[in-house]
Structure 1
Amino acid sequence: MRNTARWAAALGLTAAAVCGPLTGAAVAAPGAAPSSLYAPSALVLTTGHGSDAATVTPERAVTLTCAPTASGTHPAAVQACAELRGVGGDFDALKPSGDVWCTKLYDPVVVTVQGVWQGKRVSYERTFGNACAKDAATGSVFAF
């Protein structure tokens, strides 16, 4: 039951991050300039220990908005948005750090992303062998 409540809270954060920037959007009158020239980019990122997002309770969650400017509760929003723009929002294409050596201790960490990237729905999940492997592979995007 506790897992259900935590996932409900995570989904609530997702809805707030995705729908929040859209609530002020209105249809422009014919001939009027659009209110924004940017497609929405609002994400909820979570991390938790375990091997599968379906059974893991998120331990940390942040919001990240990248358009028109970087903002949210992410501690390094500007850098995370820059890294995501550099790979076109493809989380699998994030560049791993080449100078990090991690132990092979198996303590799985799951990361998830829900939201919108440049107007397109995003849903992402990946399991790393440990927190060091996660940090080395994802840069500042999941550094929270």
Structure 2
Amino acid sequence: MAGAIAGVVALTANPAGASEPRSLYAPSAMVLTVGQGENAATATVERAVTLTCKPTADGTHPDAAKAACADLERAHGQPALTLNDESDHICPQIYAPVILTADGVWEGRRVSFEQTFANSCLAQAQVTNLFAF
């Protein structure tokens, strides 16, 4: 019986030197959220989407998925660099904090981003395609 088990194990084991097939693309996928609150740990998430950029733009991100991936490509996968800090929006001085988060991987590297804005107007003034959902 031990010989039979050893034979089955030998037949099902990977041959020497064989490895799992590798993808041509390092993973690039994120979960993006917009929430109410001062930090990600205590915020109430209002909207959340998934975004996969490689090999093709996909996920639950709305129509701007390709543009969002292009923004991330230009920013080398750093969500903070996709924000528009040259906006001329005029916003009320109301404190109702909004937080944007991005968690996932970009070209195989871990990405974790969160930024809090004083209110939704200030957040929308800086949002580009990545957080346009």
Normalising by structure 2, we get a TM-score of 0.76
Deviations 1:90-129, CA, capped at 9 Å, x for gaps: 1221241635413132221011111111101111111012
- What's the counterpart of residue 47 of structure 1? 34
Q: Distance in 2 between matches of 1:45 and 1:68?
A: 19
Alignment counterpart, residue 123 of structure 1, candidates 103, 112, 127: 112
Q: Distance in 2 between matches of 1:44 and 1:134?
A: 18
Q: Distance in 2 between matches of 1:123 and 1:95?
A: 15
Question: Is there any run of 5+ residues in structure 2 with no aligned partner, and where?
Answer: 1-18
- What's the counterpart of residue 101 of structure 1? 89
C-alpha contact 2:36 2:98 (8 A) present in aligned 1? yes
Q: Distance in 2 between matches of 1:133 and 1:88?
A: 24
Give the number of the structure whose alpha-carbon radius of gyration is greater: 2
- What's the counterpart of residue 73 of structure 1? 60
User: Once superposed, which parts of structure 1, at least 4 consecutive aligned residues long, lie more than 6 Å away?
Assistant: none
- What's the counterpart of residue 143 of structure 1? 132
Which aligned pairs between 1:3-18 and structure 2 lie closer than 5 A? none
Secondary structure of the 2:100 match is strand
The alignment of Structure 1 onto Structure 2 pairs a total of residues equal to 113
Question: Is there any run of 5+ residues in structure 1 with no aligned partner, and where?
Answer: 1-25, 29-33
C-alpha contact 2:100 2:115 (8 A) present in aligned 1? yes
Secondary structure of the 2:96 match is coil
Identity of aligned residues (%): 51
Q: Distance in 2 between matches of 1:68 and 1:114?
A: 19
Q: Distance in 1 between matches of 2:97 and 2:71?
A: 24
